[in-house]
Amino acid sequence: MKALLRYVVLTSALVGAFEPVSTAVVAGMGAAALGRKLYYYVYENCDGTWLGFNSTGLEEDLRTKLFGQHVAARVILKAVTGFMNNKNPRKPLVLSLHGWTGTGKNYVSQLIAESIYCKGMTSGFVHLFTATAHFPHEMHLELYKSQLQQWIKGNVTNCPRSMFIFDEMDKMHPGLIDSIKPYLDFYDNLDGVSYRQAIFIFLSNAGGENIVQVALDFWTAGREREEIELKHLETALSLSVFNNKNSGFWHTSLIDKNLVDFFVPFLPLEYKHVVQCGLAEMAAKGLTPDEEVVDRMARDLSFFPKEERVFSRQGCKIISSRLDFYI
Ligand SMILES: Nc1ncnc2c1ncn2[C@@H]1O[C@H](COP(=O)(O)OP(=O)(O)OP(=O)(O)O)[C@@H](O)[C@H]1O
Ligand SMILES: *[C@@H]1O[C@H](CO)[C@@H](O)[C@H](O)[C@H]1NC(C)=O
Ligand SMILES: *[C@@H]1O[C@H](CO)[C@@H](O)[C@H](O)[C@H]1NC(C)=O
Ligand SMILES: [Mg+2]
């Protein structure tokens, strides 16, 4: 894509340089075509130029950039690759990401977006809704409902391969969740619009404590974190999500109607993962990663349980800002 863009810009510059009067007409016609081409490559369109799927890219990103989430990485790669390679999916892809704060839920959504859209999270086809920011007042529920339904419909009409990320799902009003249910289901189309190419990602802390408990049980038993498999987390997760009245899923039938394709658990991060995040963050800031600096920072963070200090209370969340104090 980038190479093509460079080519188009370069050719247009060349055409500009060789624009004698004799070739004005030809050049004019060429310029119009070129203009169209340029427009095509500069403005995002819903086609192969701007979106596709790079499974090697996603695999590599999950392996090298996401730390301590072997279960989530595996499930997500399988889910997204399977869906994107399916020419004729029967329903949109619906992922529900669960886990303790700062464990990488938003970060993974970003990696998924980057593997599909050239512009990643800044793509006009990726929509992020945050419960407390977009739908703060319960009294406006009816307005939010119709607005959200219009947005989803409008955007999927514009581009079937649209992605919707709902952050703080546990703070979203159950009625609002119910209002998007039809779009997640096995319909050929709804009012002439097919939602089967779309991707919905729900993020929440619901079930996070149960996931922590499983991880802690493994740690206490002296078992390796890498031994934890999806099956160890699956039951605890769905039951907790289902039984916790504070979680937004409670009143909805998202679960009993099997609209969520994959529940993805995020494990609490340990000291070594925080160090990895710190080193990556230093590199991202353009600094030479320095183990000593990162170690000092990591030691000052808060870990739980209090005695054993196994898991980072804030995951990797505050590292970006914390690091500045130690450099
Ligand atoms: N597992 C991880 N691997 C690498 N970096 C991570 C990981 N978890 C978090 N980070 C870093 O920390 C930042 C914050 O994480 P993120 O926003 O994804 O947390 P979250 O799971 O969405 O938390 P919350 O539940 O509080 O919203 C990310 O932008 C990323 O830089
Ligand atoms: C896919 O991702 C890999 C690894 O990041 C990269 O080397 C490759 O160029 C990408 N392919 C395309 C078509 O963008
Ligand atoms: C698409 O979604 C955005 C919110 O992300 C909204 O502002 C916009 O109006 C929607 N577009 C259509 C055509 O509905
Ligand atoms: Mg988040």
pLDDT digits (tens, 9 = 90+) for 48-98: 989 999 999 999 999 999 999 999 999 999 999 999 999 999 999 999 999
57 lines ligand 3 (CB under 6 A): no
Q: Which two tokens stand for residue 255?
A: 């679960």
Tell the burial category of 137 from Cβ atoms under 10 Å away from its Cβ (0-12, 13-18, 19+): exposed
pLDDT number for residue 255: 73
Beta strands in 234-323 (DSSP E): 262-266, 303-304, 311-312
Q: Which two tokens stand for residue 133?
A: 């920011």
66 lines ligand 1 (CB under 6 A): yes
Q: In what order do the strands lie in the sheet with 93-99?
A: 126-130, 163-167, 199-204, 93-99, 262-266
Q: pTM of the prediction?
A: 0.89
| Helices (H), ranges, 194-253 | 208-220, 230-243
pLDDT number for residue 24: 58
pLDDT number for residue 213: 94
pLDDT digit string, tens, across residues 229-282: 999 998 767 766 666 666 555 556 677 778 899 999 999 999 999 999 999 999
Is residue 176 within 8 Å of residue 136, measured between CB atoms?
A: no
Of all protein residues, whose CA lies closest to atom 27 belonging to ligand 1? 101
Greatest alpha-carbon pair distance for the chain in Å reads 84
68 lines ligand 1 (CB under 6 A): yes
